[in-house]
Amino acid sequence: METPVYNQTGKVIGRFALPESIFGLRWNADLVKQITDSILSSRRKNVAHTKNRGEVRGGGKKPWQQKGTGRARHGSTRSPIWVGGGVTHGPRNEKNYARTISKSMRVKALHTILAEKYRDGEILFVDSLALAEPKTKFAVQALGGLSEVKGFEKMYSKRKSSAAIALGSKNKETERAFKNLGNVEVLEARNLDPITLLQYKYLVIENPEVAFKAIPKTKKAKKPTN
């Protein structure tokens, strides 16, 4: 399975053999849903917090005497049925939303999404994204050149979540150049995750030979020994 590799102007300059272990996978919606839900849950910041009747202020004195007033009996204004009292079964910030994710399942979900995006024509392979200077105008020029490739015309005009650019290795100048473009995210290929792939419409992989060596892989099953 081979795919064309482009330069920054959108011209084909070579071909790259895609790894069958990644791009030969079928779509697995259940696995992707489970992994994305677990990742988002683990990223959740537990901010909401309510006070119970033991934490609110006041309520030390009995509101009124137990009998003889004709009113209901009350022992404290901290009771949840009072305005300003404690909250019953409210959200607490000590709750842990983190979920344990198997590394093999996480990697399998990543590979599954990569294979599906490639089948949908949403992955573009580029030989290099080295810019003349770390300036936004050069990043815009590069993005415009890549949008000349058939099927990727909207990558330049899409305002939100347009493209994720996976670099083969860290390049601070390229990251700095694309920093002001809110519809593009630049990261190293080794840091790709299912959430990023699902969030952005297109994926640009720079220097695929180096990038795919950095993308996490599943461990091969060991052969049983006699």
Report, as an integer, the average pLDDT of 82-97: 91
The pLDDT, as a whole number, for residue 132 is: 80
The pLDDT, as a whole number, for residue 133 is: 86
pTM (two decimals): 0.82
Mean pLDDT score of the chain, rounded to an integer? 90
pLDDT at 218 over 90: no
User: Phi and psi dihedrals of 97, rounded to 5?
Assistant: -95, 0
Report, as an integer, the average pLDDT of 137-150: 91
Report, as an integer, the average pLDDT of 7-21: 90
Confidence band, pLDDT 50/70/90 cuts, at residue 224 = low
Find, among 186, 189, 191, 195, the residue nearest to 42 by Cα: 195
Find, among 223, 216, 29, the residue nearest to 110 by Cα: 216
Confidence band, pLDDT 50/70/90 cuts, at residue 157 = confident
Report, as an integer, the average pLDDT of 97-102: 91
pLDDT at 195 over 90: yes
Residue type, 44: R
- The whole-angstrom separation of Cα 156 and Cα 149 is 11
- The whole-angstrom separation of Cα 10 and Cα 29 is 32
Most confident of 55-59, 68-72, 159-163: 68-72
The pLDDT, as a whole number, for residue 31 is: 95
Q: In sequence order, what are the beta bridge partners of 167?
A: 188
Q: Do residues 165 and 178 make contact, with C-beta atoms less than 8 angstroms apart?
A: yes
The pLDDT, as a whole number, for residue 123 is: 94
The pLDDT, as a whole number, for residue 185 is: 93
- The whole-angstrom separation of Cα 148 and Cα 156 is 9
- The whole-angstrom separation of Cα 177 and Cα 100 is 36
Report, as an integer, the average pLDDT of 187-196: 94
Q: What angle do CA 108, 109, 115 make, to 5 degrees?
A: 90
Count Cα neighbours of 70 within 13 Å in the Cβ-side half-sphere. Answer: 0
The DSSP letter of residue 182 is: T
Find, among 153, 129, 140, the residue nearest to 202 by Cα: 153
The pLDDT, as a whole number, for residue 156 is: 85
In CATH terms, is domain 2-43+97-214 a member of 3.40.1370.10?
A: yes
Report, as an integer, the average pLDDT of 185-210: 93
**Structure-token match 């409210």, residue found:** 90
pLDDT at 220 over 70: no
